[in-house]
Amino acid sequence: MNAKERVLTAFAHQEPDRVPVNYLANSGIDQRLKEHFGLASDDSEGLRQCLGVDFRHVWPPYVGPKLHEDIPERGIKVDRWGIHRRWVEHGSGGYWDFCDFPLRDADEETVANWPMPDPDLFDYSVIPAQCKEHKGYAMCFMVHGDLINENGMLRGMDQALMDLVVDDPAGLLLASRRLAIELEMIRRVLEAGNGSIDILWIGEDLGTQDRPMVSPEIFEKHILPRKEKLVNLAKAYEAKVMIHCCGSSSWAFEDFIRIGIDAADTLQPEAKDMAPAYLKKTYGGRLAFHGSISTAGPVSFGTVAEVDEYCRNTLQIMMPGGGYCFAPTHELQDNSPTENVLAMYEAARKYGVY
């Protein structure tokens, strides 16, 4: 099988020749892996080939004007949505973390006038070439399509959640404006892909480590209808839908299945009701899985032998009958030793054959 066939076979709950493999990582470990393989710092394609990755991504570059200015005197970078980020060092690297939350106290009028990227100002003409370049791989278009996280990046997480409780008009307008832009971008990308884009990859973090982040009522009222719009658009172009969903989120999986979502991503095994055995028993055959290799376990803190055993055990649980893609939970972190990450992908090669 080629990579595209392998992924689509797994998504169809059938057994491919081997388990599909994916790779997501923070910049520190990414650079260490490239150095290990003797690759240039910008050779991401070379690294994916070394690791046997079956997924590739398309993206239309933004060609419009800069909508929000950086704040260099404070080291703040501001993206085209107006989200503020600052670099925060930690023991093994650093993150561009969110700050300032410029729409925290905004009213409806302020949100209505907040500059956002125009879908017309992305270059969709490059999509066919991107698809052609990676022909034979499972092609993904990744777009947030979420309500909570990106509203939280602009309003603060506490205010973003409170918006849903009290139906705050400003917060709901912000979510609606973002969704409308992303829906139009998705439509144009899928149209430009002309059937070559296999997966629309969306997101919505719904759980803490041990419980839902929102009530069932809020989920049903505010979140699920937005997800249905994304799913329906993808299905109109015969694309699969995978949702990134951190934390204890399996409480929402029956609804995901009902509205047509094909796969769930991240799958943090330490969170409540997220262990591989529980997911496979409860949702196997109805929902495909992408992730489950914890970035808070042996890959970060164990030995090479422990990584090998951990990955083998996970594969033994998740592989039977298809429906599983081997990948880290969220992204590999900078505190993961290089040798452990190499052992992780070697385990997929050794134990991931059907």
45-69, pLDDT tens digit by residue? 999 999 999 999 999 999 999 999 9
What SS3 class is residue 21?
Answer: strand
Angle at 222 between CA 151 and CA 81, to 5 degrees: 20
pTM of the model: 0.97
Q: Please tell me the distance from the alpha carbon of residue 48 to that of residue 247, in angstroms, as a whole number.
A: 27
Residue in the block written with tokens 């996970």: 314
Q: Please tell me the distance from the alpha carbon of residue 77 to that of residue 153, in angstroms, as a whole number.
A: 13
Q: Please tell me the distance from the alpha carbon of residue 82 to that of residue 85, in angstroms, as a whole number.
A: 10
Residues of the chain whose pLDDT is less than 70? Answer: none
From its phi and psi, is residue 248 left (phi > 0), alpha (psi between -120 and 50) or beta? beta
Sheet with 93-99: list strands edge to edge: 76-78, 84-90, 93-99
Structure tokens at 191: 């149209």
Whole-number pLDDT of residue 20 = 98
Q: Please tell me the distance from the alpha carbon of residue 50 to that of residue 33, in angstroms, as a whole number.
A: 10
pLDDT tens digits for range 145-193: 999 999 999 999 999 999 999 999 999 999 999 999 999 999 999 999 9
Alpha helices in the chain, H assignment, sequence order = 3-11, 27-36, 44-51, 108-112, 127-133, 148-155, 157-166, 169-193, 216-218, 224-236, 253-259, 276-283, 298-301, 304-318, 338-351
Residue in the block written with tokens 């992780």: 344
- How distant, in Å, are the alpha carbons of 47, 195, 246 from that of 94? 22, 38, 20
CATH topology of domain 3-65+107-351: TIM Barrel (3.20.20)
From its phi and psi, is residue 259 left (phi > 0), alpha (psi between -120 and 50) or beta? alpha
How many CB atoms sit inside 10 A of residue 108's CB? 14
Residue in the block written with tokens 């495909």: 288
Whole-number pLDDT of residue 203 = 97
What SS3 class is residue 36?
Answer: helix
Whole-number pLDDT of residue 167 = 98
Q: For the chain, which residues make up each domain, given as ranges?
A: 3-65+107-351
